[in-house]
Amino acid sequence: MHSILLVEDRAGLREAYLSFLRKNAFMVTAVASAEEAERLLNEREFDILLLDYMLPGMNGMEFLQRVKSQEKELIVILMTAFGEVKLAVKAMQSGAFDFLEKPIDLEYLLIVLERAKSIHSQGQRVALQEHVESRKDRSIIGDSAVMKEVLGLVDQVAVSHATCLVLGESGTGKELFARRIHDKSKRMQGPFLAVNCSALPRDLIESELFGYEKGAFTGAHGRKPGLIELADGGTLFLDEIGDMPTDLQPKLLRFIQEGEFRRVGGQKVVKADVRLVCATNRNLAVALREGSFREDLYFRISVFPIELPPLRDRIEDIPLLAQHFVNKAGPASEIPAPVIRLLRSYSWPGNVRELQNIMERAAILSRGRNLKPTDFPTNLTDERVAAAFHIDLSVTYKENFARLSSEMERQMIQLLMRELNGKKSAVAARLGLSSKTLTHKLKIYGITD
């Protein structure tokens, strides 16, 4: 039995968690404040600290930092009702093993606790630190309405066994979302393996996925297990699935349907329990029409499609993301308002990956001082306007034109708000709109002053 110190100030929740955990063979001591918890930690040893954020007196974040400063070998799981990205990232940076959003999914809580038990039982401080560091690197930054909706879908499908198809432009972070699906699933203790189908030569992808037997081809001097075999009990992420060769697609389809395959050059049927998460930035509807992607495979991998928004559709997340990347690149420093306005006015055709690269470059050029617009590439600061639009070939010209017209209007308003320093009356006059109409459009497009 592993001992848990539960810190929850609301009596009803405290009793509910206490009852549930004891029924699942945990030895639990429950208190209502961080001060009480600190006193107990000085008297006794615990394996896991299950800690609420909003507490009377010292809050959960302050207590977490105090516990970690004392170098106690204690696994800390933070619970918060706020669902705030900044808080989650800060918790991981302060050494939390994981964080849970209220209302707590009790089945998922068990998964996290089982993982924590495993690490604690092995006595692997290094493994714990690696887990914390990997979770920090995999944090998905974004507090916009569209991101909350996507994350809600991801967390819903994660607990199922469904095959997922993650759709999105290049640079939107498809692998990050695939990892979140794995981390939130019952397979979280199993392996997570990833392969980019477009990065492998056509004649190698089959042996990489399915493995091969000795003598299967020149150079096959022994048996080699493939990625599917190695991912048994876990998740395999197939990036750019739309580029998979057509002659290999039936073999992948059979594996999805039957859970079995044959290695290249082999006769023996091999079984593997693997969840597939696929991704592509290609329009698979067009690939289906062209005959480069099988319809039956498409329906198998798209049981639960998740479409990631491009960065230009969630500009309210840009300040959070930019600050996160600057902090990773060097000493933390606040990003001044003129730089934020500059970042929000750009269309980001390369999405989050482009933002990350540009912020790291700016952090290096700034040499520790506050960032300035001149630390950024000229394509961000050039007064000439270069608008970026995404054409959807699966819909009609009329539908594309209506959407692009709206996107052009949004970008024009953004650029003018930047050029005229947020003076709404001046922007309205340049656009030929009333102030009331402009205010309405600013709200629709999510553009802040």
* Same CATH fold assignment for domains 3-137 and 145-307: yes
CB-hemisphere CA count at 13 Å for 19?
6
- Element housing 75 (H / E): strand 75-80
Rounded CA separation 237/242 (Å)? 13
Q: The tokens of 186 are what?
A: 């019952």
Task: Answer for the pair 60, 53: CB distance below 8 angstroms, yes or no.
Answer: yes
Rounded CA separation 436/196 (Å)? 49
Tell me the CA distances in angstroms from 247 to 174, 197, 290, 408, 434, one per residue in order: 25, 14, 15, 42, 59
The fold for domain 3-137 equals Rossmann fold (3.40.50)
- Residue 51: predicted pLDDT: 93
328 by Cβ neighbours in 10 Å (0-12 / 13-18 / 19+) ranks as middle
Q: Which of 255, 251, 111, 234 is nearest to 179 (CA)?
A: 234
The structural architecture, per CATH, of the domain 311-445 is: Orthogonal Bundle (1.10)
Rounded CA separation 215/265 (Å)? 7
Enumerate the domain spans of the chain. 3-137, 145-307, 311-445
Query: Under CATH, which number does the domain 145-307 receive?
Result: 3.40.50.300
The residues, ordered by sequence, that sit 6+ positions from 271 with a Cβ below 8 Å of its Cβ are 259, 260
- Residue 277: predicted pLDDT: 96
Measured torsion, CA atoms of residues 399, 144, 184, 63, in degrees rounded to the nearest 10: 180
Rounded CA separation 263/228 (Å)? 10
- Residue 274: predicted pLDDT: 94
- Residue 125: predicted pLDDT: 44
pTM value is 0.62
Digit-by-digit pLDDT tens for the chain (449 residues) are 578 999 999 999 999 999 999 888 889 999 999 999 999 998 888 889 999 988 999 999 899 988 888 766 788 998 887 655 567 667 777 788 888 878 888 877 887 887 777 655 554 444 444 444 455 445 788 889 999 999 999 999 998 989 999 999 989 999 999 999 998 898 888 889 999 988 877 778 898 899 888 888 877 767 788 899 888 889 999 999 999 999 999 999 999 999 999 999 998 899 999 999 999 988 888 889 889 999 999 999 999 999 999 999 999 999 999 988 888 877 656 788 889 988 988 888 889 999 999 998 888 888 777 888 888 887 676 544 455 556 666 667 677 677 777 778 887 887 788 777 788 888 888 888 888 889 888 888 878 76
- Residue 442: predicted pLDDT: 87
- DSSP SS3 for 235: strand
* Amino acid letter, 39: R
Measured torsion, CA atoms of residues 404, 409, 413, 416, in degrees rounded to the nearest 10: 90
Tell me the CA distances in angstroms from 178 to 184, 238, 283, 357, one per residue in order: 10, 10, 19, 22
